[in-house]
C-alpha cells in the first residue's frame, strides 16, 4: 500500500514494520471538524489468505484480543478483511520494548532501578490478572494464557505506561489450547518448567515468566545460562541460581515475591496475578504508582531522546501530509528491522526503468519469460541429480551444494546495535578486529586465530564469537562452530542469524532434532529470509523421514516467496521419489 492511500476508513501514513506473516502500518482515522486519531494497522500478507490454518490463527488472535480492554494491554479497535487481506487495527504506541530498554541501559551502565523494576512487573501482573479472569459475552471464563511473556513483548511508552503485546500465541481453553507434541510456543529462556516440558499449562505459567523478568531486572543476569540445549534442560527442571545468592540484601518481602513467582511446581506459586500484584505492591510501600510512572517515562524519554525527537518530527510531517522519500519502499537489504538476506537469497529487486521497458512491452515479457524458464529448468535438472532421496545413506547434499554465503547468513544491520553494548571492543582492540575481518575470506585460519585473541581479551564480544563461528563453518569444523554460535545466543538470544547458522551446523553433523529445534525458533522470529529457513528445515525433516512435515515447510517457503527456485525444485524432486503427492 502506498502512503496516503485509503484502506477502508483508515488512511495509511507509512509502514513501520515488516514480518514473515504480516506488515504493520501507521495510519489515521479522520472525522468531522478536524477529528484525527492515530492507529496501527496489522495487515496479513495476501498470499497467506489461501492458507486456512494461518487465517484461522490470525482471526483467533483478533477475536481474543478484542475481549482485552485494559490499560496495561495494547488495545484492539477493529478487525476485517479487505481486498482478500485480513487486518487488525490496534492502539498506536510510542516508546520501546523492555529488551531494547534494558540493552540500552546496560550499554550505558545505568540500572533500571529497584522501584522502576517492581513497577514494570506490577503493571504486567495487573494486565495478566485481567486477561486470566476474562469471560466471554455469555459469562463463561476464557482461561486465557499468554504463553510468551518476555521482554520483547513488554512495551514501555515515553509516558511511562507499560503494555503487554502480542497475544498471537495466547490460548483460551475453549478454543483448543492443546499444544502440539514436541512444539514449544514462546521463548525458552522465559518458559515455566511445565511449558518447557511440553505439558498442558495454565495461567501459573505466565506467573513464572513474570518472575523471570523480575529476576533479570533486579539481578542484571539471565535466569538460565549455557547453550541453547542447556537452557532448555535447565528450564525443564527449573535449575537456576537463587535470587538471594545474587542479591545479598534481599528483603523478606522481596524474597516472598520471588518464591511465589519462581516456584518450580505450579502449585507452589502464587495462585493468581492478583496475589502476586499485592505482594509486589507491599515491596513498593508508600510509593505512588503515578510518580513511578512519570519517573519511568522520563527515563525512557531521556535514554532515547534522539529517537523520540526523530519520531515526533516524522509524525508531524506525515500528519501534515508530507510524503517521506522512502515511504513504503521494500525492506532495505542493508538495514532495517529484519535480518539481512544472504547473498544469493531471493530478495527484492528494483523495477526496470519505464523509459526502456514501456516501448516494447511484448519483447520485455518474452525475454523475462525465456530467462525465467531457463533458470527454473537449470535448477530443476541440477537438483534432480544432486539432492538425495530418503534413506539413501548420503549426507545433506542440498546443503553442501549451496555456497557458504547462501547458507550461513552474515551478521545483519538489525544485530548491529547488540554489538555496541557492554561487550563491544575497546578502542585498542579495533585494529585487531579490522585485521581479522579483512582476512575472513583470504586467510580464514589466520582470521580465526585473531578472533580468538579478541575473545580472550573481551570474552563477551558478540561480534568476535559470531565471526569465529563463520570462519569455523567455512572450514567445515562444525563441532567447534556450534559453541561459538551458542555463546552468541547466550549473550543475545534474539540474534536470529546466529541461530540460523547453529541449525546449519547441527544439520551438517546429522543432529537433526537439534537442527529442527533451532530452525523452528528462527521461523517464529519471521526474518526476511524466512523462505530460506523453511527450505533448510524441509531438507532436515525429509532426512528424518517426516515427509509430510517437509512438504508443509516447502509449501510455507513458497507462500512466503513463490519464486524460491530451490523450494520449487526440491518439492518436485521429493514428489518424484514417491508414487503419491505429499
Residue 573 has pLDDT above 80, yes or no: no
Q: Give the C-alpha separation, 341 to 331, whole Å.
A: 10
Q: Report CA Rg, the chain.
A: 25
Residue 201 has pLDDT above 60, yes or no: yes
Is the sign of the CA dihedral 231, 235, 239, 240 positive or negative?
Answer: positive
Range of lowest pLDDT (38-52, 245-259, 268-282, 313-327)? 313-327
93 vs 198, higher pLDDT: 93
State the average pLDDT over residues 447-474: 89
The whole-number pLDDT of residue 558 equals: 82
A 10 A CB-CB count for 236 gives: 18
State the average pLDDT over residues 427-447: 81
Q: Give the C-alpha separation, 190 to 166, whole Å.
A: 15
The whole-number pLDDT of residue 264 equals: 96
Residue 273 has pLDDT above 70, yes or no: yes
pLDDT of 350-386, one tens digit each? Answer: 222 333 333 344 555 666 666 666 666 655 554 444 4
| Burial annotation 286-305 (CB, 10 A radius, 16+ → b, else e) | eeeeeebbeebbebbbebbe
Cα angle 415-170-62, degrees, rounded to a multiple of 5: 95
Q: Give the C-alpha separation, 508 to 19, whole Å.
A: 28
The whole-number pLDDT of residue 452 equals: 92
Residue 117 has pLDDT above 90, yes or no: yes
State the average pLDDT over residues 32-51: 80
The whole-number pLDDT of residue 58 equals: 78
Q: What's this model's pTM, rounded to 2 decimal places?
A: 0.60
- Residue 359, SS3 per DSSP: coil
| In the block, residue with C-alpha cell 525527537 | 309
Q: Give the C-alpha separation, 339 to 533, whole Å.
A: 12
pLDDT of 480-505, one tens digit each? Answer: 999 999 998 988 888 888 888 998 88
State the average pLDDT over residues 158-185: 63
The whole-number pLDDT of residue 168 equals: 58
Give catalytic residues, as residue numbers: 148
CA nearest neighbour of 408 among 511, 523, 536, 565:
536
Residue 186 has pLDDT above 70, yes or no: no
Q: Give the C-alpha separation, 257 to 329, whole Å.
A: 48
**Which domains are assigned to the chain?**
6-92 (3.30.200.20), 95-303 (1.10.510.10), 371-576 (1.25.40.10)
Q: What is the mean pLDDT of the chain?
A: 77
Residue 395 has pLDDT above 60, yes or no: no
| Burial annotation 318-338 (CB, 10 A radius, 16+ → b, else e) | beeeeeeeebbeebebeebeb
pLDDT tier at 577 (50, 70, 90 boundaries)? low
CA nearest neighbour of 530 among 488, 558, 571:
558
pLDDT tier at 180 (50, 70, 90 boundaries)? very low
| In the block, residue with C-alpha cell 555456497 | 403
C-alpha cell at 402: 549451496
341 half-sphere exposure, CB direction, 13 A CA radius: 18
The residue ranges of DSSP E strands in 214-335, in sequence order, are none
Range of lowest pLDDT (172-186, 198-212, 231-245)? 172-186
Residue 332 has pLDDT above 60, yes or no: no
pLDDT tier at 162 (50, 70, 90 boundaries)? very high
Q: Give the C-alpha separation, 242 to 522, whole Å.
A: 30
Amino acid at each position: 500500500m502506498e502512503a496516503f492511500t485509503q484502506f477502508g476508513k483508515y488512511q495509511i501514513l507509512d509502514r513501520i514494520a515488516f514480518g514473515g506473516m504480516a506488515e504493520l502500518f501507521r495510519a489515521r482515522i479522520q472525522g468531522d471538524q478536524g477529528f484525527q486519531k492515530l492507529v496501527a494497522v496489522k495487515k496479513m500478507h495476501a498470499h497467506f489468505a489461501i492458507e486456512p490454518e494461518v487465517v484461522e490463527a490470525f482471526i483467533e488472535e483478533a477475536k481474543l484480543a478484542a475481549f482485552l480492554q485494559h490499560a496495561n494491554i495494547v488495545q484492539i479497535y477493529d478487525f476485517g478483511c479487505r481486498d482478500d487481506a485480513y487486518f487488525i487495527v490496534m492502539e498506536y504506541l510510542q516508546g520501546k520494548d523492555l529488551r531494547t530498554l534494558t540493552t540500552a541501559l546496560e550499554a550505558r551502565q545505568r540500572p533500571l532501578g529497584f522501584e522502576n523494576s517492581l513497577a514494570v512487573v506490577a503493571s504486567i501482573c495487573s494486565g495478566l490478572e485481567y486477561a486470566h479472569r476474562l469471560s466471554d459475552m455469555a459469562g463463561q471464563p476464557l482461561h486465557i494464557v499468554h504463553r510468551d511473556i518476555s521482554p520483547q513483548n513488554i512495551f514501555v511508552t515515553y509516558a511511562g505506561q507499560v503494555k503487554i503485546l502480542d497475544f498471537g500465541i495466547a490460548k483460551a481453553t475453549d478454543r483448543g489450547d492443546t499444544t502440539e507434541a514436541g512444539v514449544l510456543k514462546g521463548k525458552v529462556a522465559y518458559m515455566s518448567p511445565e511449558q518447557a516440558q511440553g505439558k498442558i499449562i495454565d495461567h501459573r505459567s505466565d506467573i513464572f515468566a513474570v518472575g523471570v523478568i523480575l529476576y533479570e531486572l533486579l539481578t542484571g543476569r539471565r535466569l538460565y545460562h549455557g547453550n541453547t540445549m542447556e537452557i532448555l534442560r535447565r528450564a525443564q527442571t527449573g535449575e537456576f541460581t537463587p535470587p538471594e545468592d545474587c542479591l545479598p540484601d534481599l528483603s523478606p518481602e522481596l524474597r516472598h515475591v520471588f518464591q511465589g513467582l519462581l516456584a518450580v511446581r505450579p502449585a507452589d506459586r502464587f495462585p493468581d496475578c492478583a496475589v502476586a500484584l499485592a505482594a509486589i505492591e507491599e515491596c513498593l510501600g508508600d510509593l505512588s504508582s503515578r510518580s513511578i510512572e512519570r519517573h519511568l517515562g522520563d527515563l525512557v524519554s531521556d535514554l532515547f531522546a534522539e529517537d523520540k525527537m526523530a519520531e515526533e518530527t516524522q509524525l508531524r510531517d506525515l500528519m501534515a501530509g508530507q510524503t517521506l522519500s522512502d515511504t513504503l519502499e521494500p525492506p532495505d537489504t542493508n538495514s532495517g528491522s529484519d535480518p539481512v538476506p544472504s547473498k544469493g537469497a531471493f530478495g527484492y529487486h528494483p523495477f526496470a526503468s519505464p523509459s526502456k521497458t514501456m516501448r516494447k512491452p511484448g519483447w520485455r515479457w518474452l525475454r523475462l519469460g525465456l530467462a525465467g524458464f531457463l533458470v527454473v529448468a537449470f535448477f530443476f535438472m541440477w537438483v534432480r541429480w544432486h539432492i538425495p532421496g530418503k534413506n539413501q545413506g548420503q549426507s545433506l547434499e542440498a546443503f553442501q551444494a549451496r555456497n557458504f554465503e547462501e547458507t550461513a547468513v552474515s551478521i545483519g544491520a538489525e544485530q548491529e546495535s547488540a554489538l555496541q553494548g557492554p561487550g563491544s571492543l575497546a578502542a585498542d582492540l579495533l585494529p585487531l578486529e579490522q585485521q581479522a575481518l579483512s582476512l575472513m575470506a583470504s586467510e580464514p585460519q589466520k582470521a580465526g586465530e585473531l578472533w580468538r585473541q579478541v575473545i580472550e581479551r573481551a570474552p563477551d564480544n558478540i561480534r568476535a564469537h559470531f565471526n569465529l563461528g563463520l570462519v569455523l563453518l567455512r572450514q567445515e569444523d562444525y563441532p567447534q562452530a556450534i559453541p561459538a554460535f551458542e555463546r552468541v545466543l547466550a549473550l543475545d538470544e534474539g540474534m536470529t542469524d546466529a541461530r540460523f547458522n547453529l541449525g546449519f551446523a547441527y544439520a551438517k553433523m546429522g543432529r537433526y532434532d537439534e537442527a529442527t529445534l533451532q530452525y523452528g525458533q528462527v521461523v517464529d522470529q519471521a526474518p526476511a529470509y524466512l523462505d530460506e529457513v523453511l527450505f533448510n528445515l524441509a531438507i532436515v525433516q525429509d532426512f528424518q523421514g517426516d515427509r509430510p512435515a517437509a512438504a508443509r515447510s516447502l509449501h510455507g517457503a513458497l507462500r512466503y516467496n513463490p519464486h524460491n527456485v530451490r523450494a520449487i525444485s526440491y518439492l518436485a524432486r521429493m514428489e518424484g521419489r514417491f508414487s503419491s503427492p505429499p
